[in-house]
Amino acid sequence: MVQKTAYTEHPFAEYVRILGKGKNGSRPLTEEEAFKAMRMILNDEVEPEQLGAFLILMRVKEESPPELAGFVRAARDWLEIPDDAPPVDLDWSSYAGKRRHLPWFILSTLLLAENGTTVFMHGASGHTNGRIYTRDVLAELGIPPCRSIAEACERMRREHFAYLDIEFLCPRLHQIIELRPLLGLRSPVHTLARSLNPFHAPFVMQGIFHPGYRPVHQEAAQLLNESNVAVIKGEGGEIERDPDSPCLVQRVHRDELVEEEWPALFPRRHMKETSLDIRRLAQVWRGERDDEYGVGAITGTAAIALQLMGKADTPDQALELARAMWENRKRDRYLAVA
């Protein structure tokens, strides 16, 4: 008599099977299944083979809004945010890096912070060759990136702005992002990280590269009960408005999904930059150098945040306010590069 083989299935195998059972048998995870799967991943309760299979299957399928919401819930539960953390007004993610233009959006966030908006920026660095990352730019500009959640809290109390790399915010997610050169593909963690909003800021800015992800972020935000989120196809995938092109702003506004196209700021496109010298950011902030495209990107991006936060009713009013803030900036503040 042939005996049947007995084995115990790994608990995470269920989630791999749901995603990989074939064209007719597979399905998306429910929000609760996604929550449990990500919790196991963050607790390092999965085997490397399972993690690789899960990430690739999810990448091929692409995340659904309930899956993204479940992943975010699990990550937020895993983070240890202190009870006395300062209130954060605006969550700003920076995970793409820049390669065609300088990261002008960094000056947008500093401009907002100078005018009393507490901005928490989080991101990743170095996962794709040939890109400039926020952590490295801030260091060159005399703004040391934070290395712990506690340090970020203290910086926001003092300066209304802090940047914390995912390496220190959530090391496990950092490890998975660092798998990109091994797997050859981005993973759902890139999408999750953009939506993390660890301090539960009431206003959230998100930048994406692929337009198809805009509604995913919108609908996931609704499931997470976030009522003020703006998603744009940012320059290079960062949260940065290209002033040479119309910008579609898709928002969650008071629990409704709305969209509005903001017009281009210039009648003709500017030439692509021939070199990306980050010293130019400091020079433009201090008024030592003119850059029409750069100032358009800075004020245009800040304007989207200002309207999101209810500081202005229309795009024109928001842009007028952003330009006034730019004209009145403290030129000797923040940037210490000679």
pLDDT digits (tens, 9 = 90+) for 221-266: 999 999 899 999 989 889 999 999 999 998 888 778 889 999 999 9
Whether 239 and 169 share a structural domain: yes
User: What pLDDT, on a 0 to 100 scale, did the predictor assign at position 131?
Assistant: 82
Reported confidence tier of residue 128, pLDDT bands at 50, 70, 90: low
The two beta strands, 119-123 and 90-94, are: parallel
Q: Considering the domain boundaries, does residue 8 fall inside one?
A: no
> Helices 105-114 and 315-327 meet at what angle, rounded to 10?
80
Whether 73 and 116 share a structural domain: no
Count of alpha carbons within 13 angstroms of residue 90, beta-carbon side: 30
Burial class (CB in 10 A: 0-12, 13-18, 19+), 336: exposed
Last residue of a domain, one of 52, 78, 104: 78
**In the chain, how many domains are there?**
2
pLDDT at 2 over 90: no
Whether 124 and 35 share a structural domain: no
Whether 217 and 163 share a structural domain: yes
Range 66-93 burial, b when 16+ CB lie within 10 A, else e: bbbbbbbbbbbeeeeeeeebbebbbbbb
User: What pLDDT, on a 0 to 100 scale, did the predictor assign at position 246?
Assistant: 96
Last residue of a domain, one of 53, 78, 103: 78
Q: Considering the domain boundaries, does residue 338 fall inside one?
A: no
Alpha carbon of 124 to those of 12, 14, 64, 102, 174: distances in Å?
27, 30, 23, 17, 7
User: What pLDDT, on a 0 to 100 scale, did the predictor assign at position 78?
Assistant: 95
Whether 184 and 246 share a structural domain: yes
Q: Considering the domain boundaries, does residue 146 fall inside one?
A: yes
pLDDT in tens, 266-316: 999 888 877 888 889 999 999 999 999 999 999 999 999 999 999 999 999
| CATH number assigned to the domain comprising residue 44 | 1.20.970.10
Whether 59 and 147 share a structural domain: no
Prediction pTM value: 0.92
Q: Which domain holds residue 214?
A: 90-265+277-327
pLDDT at 338 over 50: no
pLDDT at 326 over 90: yes
